[in-house]
Amino acid sequence: MRDAILLHPDDLVCVAARDLAAGATVELPTERLKLLDDVPQGHKIARAFVEPGQPVLKWGQTIGFASAPIEPGRWVHSHNLAIGALRQEYEKSTAIPDDPPPLPGYSFQGFRRPDGRAGTRNYIAVISNVNCSASVARYVADRFTPDRLREYPHVDGVLAFSHGNGCGMEFGGEHHQILNRVMGGMARHPNIGGYVLVGLGCETGTLGYLIDDQRLVQISGVNSPSSAGNRPLVLSMQDLGGTQKTINEAARLVENLLPKVNAARRETIPASEIVLGLNCGGSDGNSGITANAALGVASDLLVACGGTAILGETTEIYGAEQLLTRRARTPEVADKLLDRIRWWEWYAGVFGCTPDNNPSPGNKAGGLTTIYEKSLGAIVKGGTTALSDVVLYGEQVRSRGLVVMDTPGLDPVSVTGIVAGGANVVAFTTGRGSCFGFKPAPVLKIASNTAMYERMQDDMDLDAGVILSQGRGVAEVGEEMFARILAIASGERTKSEQLGLGDAEFQPWILGPVL
C-alpha cells in the first residue's frame, strides 16, 4: 500500500494513490517527498524542480509543459501545467511485440448465427433510417414490453434504433456513408436475431440504397443469408398511409419474427469469437493505473485466445499515438493511424478548437490535466499486443487482435461506431462514475477507484480500484475482468442491463454540413 505511484523512472511527477495533505511525506523508490500542497487522489506531485517551458514527463512521455516554476512536492495541475506543442518523432513497426502464447480452451455460451458470427444477446431491432420515422420505431418497440415477451424467453427484447439524421446531406457523401455503415452494422450485428427497416419515403438516405450499399439480408432464424429472395423487411410510411398504419404493420412483422428469433439457443463457442469494444468515460487520474491497466491485461488474454479488441476514441489517442505506431504490424497500419491523427488536427481546427478541448471539467477534477496525459492512460486499455489494423468509424472489423477504430471521444457516439463495427461485448472504464449502457451489446462497467465504486454500486460491475485500496495486482484484476467478460458474453446480466439502460444511447456520428 503506497501513498504515491511512480509510473516510469524518468517521470518528473508521481501520482497520489489517496488524498494527501500538505506536510505529509511520501516514499518513492529512490527518494522521499515532503508535500507543499494538499494533493487529491489521482493528481500529480512534482518530484523535482521544473523550469517554466520545461516538458513534464509521466509514463515516460511528455504530458505538457510547465507554465510556472514548480518545486518538488508541489501539486501539478492546470495552474502550472499547459499543453504546449509536441514535436513527435514517429517510429513505424519498430517494436512489434511477439504474438502472445495461444490460450486454447476458453469459451462462452453464445448464439451462432448463419453467417458464422457469434452473438452474446438475441434482440429484434426496428431500425429507422431517418429521423422522420424515429417515432414509429420507438412506438413499435414500446409495444413489446417484458410482459408481452414473457412467452419468448430467448428473446432479450425489441429495440428501436432511431436518430436525428438521414436527410439534409449529400447523397452518397461521407456523412451518408457513415450513417449507412452504422445502420448496416446494427442490422447485421450478431446480437440482432431479426430486424425491420422503417423509413418515411422521400429522405436522402433511402432504404434501397442502404440495402444495396450494405448488402443487407434478413438474418438468424428468419432467412439464411445464402438463400434467394431474402431481402430485409422494409416499410415506407408514405406508401403505407402514415404513422399509425406503419406502426401497426411494423408491430405485425415483429410478431412474426418473435417465434423465429426465439428459436435460437446458446451453444458453446470459442472465446476467439468475442469482439470486445474498449471505451472509457468520465476518466480520472486513477484510470490509467487501475481500470485501464487491468482492462489491458484482459484485452491481451482475449487476443491470446484468438479474439479481437477494438480501441476507439481517436481524440483520446492523440498525444500517445507514437506508442501505437511502434507496435503496428506493418508501416502501412501505422500510416493509417497517423492519417487519422492528422485528420483530427485539421477537423478540430475547422471549428476553432483543438484536441486538448477533449478533457472535461470532470476529467480535470479527477486529476487529468491535458489531452496528452489523458491519452497515455487511455491507450493502456489496448494492452501490449501488436496493432493489427485501423478502421473507419462504423466499419466492419475483420482483423483479429488489437484494432483501432476512428471514433470521437464522446461516449455514445464512440460506442455506436464500435458496436456497429461488430463488438458483441463492451468494457467501459470510468473514474468519475459514468452510468452507461448500450443495447444490443452488454456493457461491463469498471470503476477506477474504490470510493466511487462503493458510492455507485448500482451502476458499477467491477472495482479495479482495489489495485490501490487493497494492493491487489493489475494482472490479478485483469484476469478477473476477463472471466467476467466470458460470463457476460454467456448471458450474465450487467448492471446497466439490470437497470434497463441502453435504449437511448444509439447516436451515429454527424459529420459535415447539414443541408
91, part of any domain = no
pLDDT score of 224 more than 50: no
Checking phi first, is residue 511 left (phi over 0); if not, alpha (psi -120 to 50) or beta? beta
Residue with cell 476529467: 363
- Whether 337 and 242 share a structural domain: no
Question: 69 and 151 in one domain?
Answer: no
Give the count of domains, the chain.
Answer: 3
Asked whether residue 99 is domain-assigned, the answer is: no
How would you classify the pairing of strands 443-447 and 425-430? parallel
Q: Are residues 189 and 223 in the same domain?
A: yes
Contact indicator for 281, 304 with CB cutoff of 8 Å: no
Within-domain flag for 429: no
Instruction: Indicate whether 226 and 195 sit together in one domain.
Output: yes
Q: Give the three cell numbers for residue 117.
A: 458470427
Closest alpha carbon to 283 in 467, 448, 59: 448
Whether 515 is in a domain gets the answer: no
Nearest-angstrom CA–CA distance, 126 and 71:
59
pLDDT tens-place string over residues 23-48: 999 999 999 999 999 999 999 999 99
Of the three residues 82, 110, 129, the one that is the final residue of a domain is 82
C-alpha count within 13 angstroms, C-beta hemisphere, residue 291: 33
Residues 461 and 475 grouped into a single domain? yes
Whole-number pLDDT of residue 358: 82
Question: Does residue 342 sit in the same domain as residue 307?
Answer: yes
Predicted local distance difference test score (pLDDT) of residue 218: 76
Question: How confident is the model over 351-382, as pLDDT tens digits?
Answer: 999 888 888 999 999 999 999 999 999 999 99
Percentage of the chain with pLDDT > 70?
Answer: 98
Give me the pLDDT at residue 513, please: 87
Phi/psi at 361 (5° precision): -55, -35
pLDDT at 225 over 90: no
pLDDT in tens, 462-478: 999 999 999 999 999 99
Flag whether pLDDT at 229 surpasses 70.
no
The residue among 82, 97, 132 that closes a domain is 82
Predicted confidence band of residue 283 (pLDDT cuts 50, 70, 90): very high
Is the residue at 274 inside a domain?
A: yes
Domain presence at residue 494: yes
C-alpha cell at 208: 434501397
In three-state secondary structure terms, 93 is coil
Does residue 254 carry a pLDDT above 80?
yes
Does 237 score more than 70 pLDDT? Answer: yes
User: Do both 306 and 246 map to the same domain?
Assistant: no
| Mean of all residue pLDDT scores within the chain | 95
Question: Above 60 in pLDDT, residue 228?
Answer: no
Nearest-angstrom CA–CA distance, 46 and 31:
12
> Are both 226 and 284 inside the same structural domain?
no
Residues 137 and 220 in one domain: yes
Residue 273 and residue 262 share a domain = no
Judge if 188 and 278 occupy the same domain: no
pLDDT-derived band at 433 (thresholds 50, 70, 90) equals very high
Phi, then psi, of 98 in degrees rounded to 5:
-65, 145
Nearest CA to 427 out of 487, 362, 373 is that of 487
Q: Which residues constitute the domain of residue 67?
A: 4-82
Radius of gyration of the chain (CA): 24
Residues 251-264, mean pLDDT to the nearest whole number:
97
Which burial class, exposed, middle or buried, applies to 147 when counting CB atoms under 10 A from its CB (0-12, 13-18, 19+)?
Answer: exposed
pTM of the shown model: 0.96
pLDDT tens figures, 481-502: 999 999 999 999 999 999 999 9
pLDDT band at 226 (very low <50, low <70, confident <90, very high): very low
Calculate mean pLDDT across residues 72-101: 94
Identify the pLDDT of residue 88: 84
pLDDT in tens, 314-343: 999 999 999 999 999 999 999 999 999 999
Q: Which of 15, 9, 27, 24 is nearest to 77 (CA)?
A: 15
Q: State the number of CA atoms in the 13 A half-sphere of 432 facing the CB.
A: 17
Q: Quick one: pLDDT band at residue 89, thresholds 50, 70, 90?
A: confident
* Residue 405 located in a structural domain: no
3-state secondary structure of 147: coil
Q: Is residue 109 part of a domain?
A: no
End residue of a domain, out of 238, 267, 296: 267
User: Per residue in 137-178, pLDDT tens?
Assistant: 999 999 999 999 999 999 999 999 999 999 999 999 999 999
| pLDDT at res. 220 | 47
Q: Are residues 130 and 196 in the same domain?
A: yes
82, pLDDT greater than 80: yes
CATH code for the domain in which residue 78 is found: 2.30.130.110
CATH code, 259: 3.40.1400
Nearby residues of 212 by Cβ (< 8 Å), 6 or more positions away: none
The pLDDT, as a whole number, for residue 219 is: 59
